[in-house]
């Protein structure tokens, strides 16, 4: 039977942060100790501010230690579509920032000497339909023309050099995308933040944020504190403490299964270049070899419902994996886990200041790059540093009609998207 905790936690168990006293006053309070919250905290202490980061659970117990670790820095709206809907200038600004953010993460990992198995191996996105291959090829051509990314198309006839599967119709390689061990990345950020003087308080939930004159009062499970500024980095784990955000963010469960170790020969066949992998379905799958190249980690929607804890959910995902890689039919699973990604109506990351509170959120399943980037941007905004500006500011961040935080409609939406995928619509 597989264990129901992330494979990543074997090597990087969730840290118990040494309990420190909660200070009654600080310059900045940050809610959420994932990549975004730690990215914000680190920037602020290094610029001389006193910072306390609060997390209702273990530090990094949210998306940041559960992900696939693919540094996609993805935007859900393709570059070509953005050009036609928003114009070339906006589309270029958004995509340039994605490239900058991805590079910045790699530089951060190197400069802070974070040993998180950063592997710049590239990503192969496989086309589930012939027409998707055409779309991928056009997108690659547009990206190369404007950004010189070196994206390369691979026809179906050559795809075995990228993936040991006959399910696809070719695909595209993006050499600029890498893999990391997400929990080691979080651990490295946490160690760096604690060393720099960020006050990180795990198991300390924030239940209310209230403006009092030109400061804020936060009700925490360890007392009320006063802060000059507040940054909210709760993403897919947003709760009633921030009702404004809750109406804008839908927590969608995403699940990953890890296989038992497979032979090197089999891995050579399935993932000859050890790249990050994904497909073009709306309800898409993302998968990769483990950093040591011994297992396949395969992620996607569990089943079309919110019940992610039972065997039905991971069996469903396993069947999908075996359809892609029949060679894995007899290979057992070692780990099964899931977490929430945060989707929003506008499908773009958000950096928003509202009633004096700064929000960094809406990473739509691509926060390995975006979360730290926007946490840091939020910090720079508070510091009044022009580097806090982002192309993503000022865009709509719409409330979802008739939604108060109970995502009852997710199963129906997933089922609808699966239907569209099934019939290639
Ligand atoms: C299964 C899975 C696979 C994924 N795969 C990828 C991938 O391959 N590539 C990629 O780029 N992205 C991926 N993601 C998304 C990525 O992990 C997230 O976007 C990113 O980690 C978000 O970081 P964050 O700091 O914004 O939020 P999180 O890491 O989710 O942290 C939010 C924190 O806020 C805390 N919190 C919430 N409310 C309160 C409160 N009231 N008081 C105190 N604390 C609170 C929570 O406890 C939580 O720890 C995946 C996510 C999942 C779940």
Phi, psi of 25 (to 5 degrees): -135, 145
Task: Please give the Cα distance from 34 to 371 (Å, whole number).
Answer: 8
Give the integer Cα–Cα distance in Å for 81 and 26.
44
The per-residue pLDDT for 297 is 98
pLDDT in tens, 224-262: 999 999 999 999 999 999 999 999 999 999 999 999 999
CA of 343 to the centre of ligand 1 (A): 12
Other Cβ atoms less than 10 A from the Cβ of 311: the count is 11
> Which of 7, 235, 372 most suits a substitution to test ligand 1, by most atoms within 8 Å of the C-beta?
235
Residue 205: CB within 6 Å of ligand 1?
Answer: yes
Nearest alpha-carbon partner for 65 in 18, 117, 6, 11: 6
Sorted by where each starts, the structural domains of the chain and their CATH numbers stand as 119-178+251-343 (3.30.9.10)
Ligand 1 touching residue 186 (CB < 6 A): no
Q: Is 168 exposed, middle or buried (0-12, 13-18, 19+ CB in 10 A)?
A: buried
Atom 33 of ligand 1, residue of closest alpha carbon = 32
CA of residue 235 to ligand 1 center, whole Å: 6
CA 221 to chain centre: 27
Indicate if ligand 1 lies below 6 Å from the C-beta of 65: no
The CA distance from 223 to 204, in Å, is 9
Cα of 21 from ligand 1 centre, angstroms:
25
Confirm or reject: Cβ of 366 under 6 Å from ligand 1: yes
Contact between 372 and 108 under an 8 Å Cβ cutoff? The reply is: yes
CA dihedral angle for residue 192, residue 196, residue 198, residue 199, rounded to 10 degrees: 100
Looking at ligand 1, which residue's alpha carbon is closest to its atom 8?
68
Dist. CA 337 → ligand 1 center (Å): 14
Compute, in angstroms, the gap from residue 425 CA to the centroid of ligand 1: 31
Mean pLDDT by 10 residues, the chain (425 residues): 94 92 97 98 98 97 97 94 95 97 98 98 97 97 95 98 97 98 98 98 98 97 98 97 96 95 98 97 91 97 60 83 97 96 92 96 96 98 97 92 81 75 72
Predicted pLDDT of residue 308: 64
Which residue has the CA at smallest separation from atom 18 of ligand 1? 367
Q: From the CB of residue 394, how many other CB atoms can be counted at a distance below 10 Å?
A: 9
CA of 271 to the centre of ligand 1 (A): 27
The whole-number pLDDT of residue 216 equals: 98
Cβ(306)–Cβ(154) below 8 Å: no
CA distance 188 to 179: 16
Q: Is 32 in the pocket of ligand 1 (CB under 6 A)?
A: yes
- Rounded to whole angstroms, the Cα distance separating 336 from 270 reads 20
SS3 31: strand
Query: How far is the C-alpha of 270 from the C-alpha of 272, rounded, in Å?
Result: 6
pTM for the structure as a whole? 0.96
Ligand 1 and 64: CB distance under 6 A = yes
Contact 399, 356 (CB under 8 A): no
Instruction: Please give the radius of gyration of the chain, using alpha carbons only, rounded to the nearest integer.
Output: 21
Q: Is the CB of 206 under 6 A from ligand 1?
A: yes
The atom of ligand 1 lying closest to the CA of 182 is: 17
Find out whether the beta carbon of 68 lies less than 6 Å from any atom of ligand 1: yes
Return the pLDDT at 354: 95
Alpha-carbon torsion angle 45, 384, 228, 220, nearest 10: -60
């Amino acid at each position: 039977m597989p264990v129901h905790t992330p494979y990543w936690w074997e090597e990087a168990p969730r840290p118990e942060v040494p309990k420190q006293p909660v200070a009654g006053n600080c310059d900045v309070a940050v809610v959420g100790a994932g990549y975004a919250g730690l990215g914000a905290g680190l920037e602020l202490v290094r610029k001389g501010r006193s910072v306390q980061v609060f997390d209702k659970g273990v530090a990094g117990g949210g998306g940041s230690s559960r992900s696939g670790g693919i540094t996609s820095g993805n935007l859900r709206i393709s570059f070509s579509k953005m050009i036609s809907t928003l114009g070339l200038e906006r589309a270029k600004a958004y995509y340039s920032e994605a490239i900058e953010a991805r590079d910045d993460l790699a530089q951060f990992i190197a400069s802070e000497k974070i040993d998180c198995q950063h592997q710049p191996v590239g990503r192969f996105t496989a086309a589930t339909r012939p027409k998707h291959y055409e779309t991928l090829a056009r997108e690659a051509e547009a990206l190369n023309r404007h950004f010189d990314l070196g994206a390369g198309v691979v026809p179906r006839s050559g795809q075995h050099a990228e993936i040991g599967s006959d399910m696809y119709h070719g695909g595209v390689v993006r050499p600029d995308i890498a893999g990391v061990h997400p929990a080691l990345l979080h651990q490295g950020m946490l160690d760096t933040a604690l060393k720099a003087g960020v006050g990180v308080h795990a198991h300390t939930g924030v239940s209310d944020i209230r403006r009092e004159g030109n400061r804020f009062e936060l009700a925490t499970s360890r007392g009320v504190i006063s802060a000059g500024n507040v940054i909210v980095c709760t993403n897919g784990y947003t709760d009633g403490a921030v009702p404004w955000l809750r109406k804008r963010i839908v927590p969608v469960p995403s699940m990953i299964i890890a296989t038992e170790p497979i032979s090197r020969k089999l891995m050579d066949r399935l993932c000859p270049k050890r790249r990050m992998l994904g497909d073009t379905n709306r309800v898409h799958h993302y998968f990769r070899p483990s950093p040591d190249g011994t297992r396949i980690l395969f992620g996607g929607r569990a089943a079309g419902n919110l019940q992610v804890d039972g065997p039905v959910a991971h069996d469903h995902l396993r069947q999908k994996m075996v359809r892609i890689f029949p060679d894995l039919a007899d290979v057992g699973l070692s780990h099964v886990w899931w977490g929430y990604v945060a989707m929003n109506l506008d499908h773009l990351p958000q950096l928003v200041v509202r009633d004096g509170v700064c929000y960094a959120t809406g990473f739509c399943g691509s926060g390995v790059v975006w979360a730290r980037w926007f946490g840091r941007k939020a910090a720079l905004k508070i510091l009044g540093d022009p580097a806090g500006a982002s192309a993503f500011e000022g865009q709509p961040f719409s409330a979802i009609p008739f939604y108060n935080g109970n995502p009852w409609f997710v199963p129906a939406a997933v089922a609808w998207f699966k239907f569209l995928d099934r019939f290639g619509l």
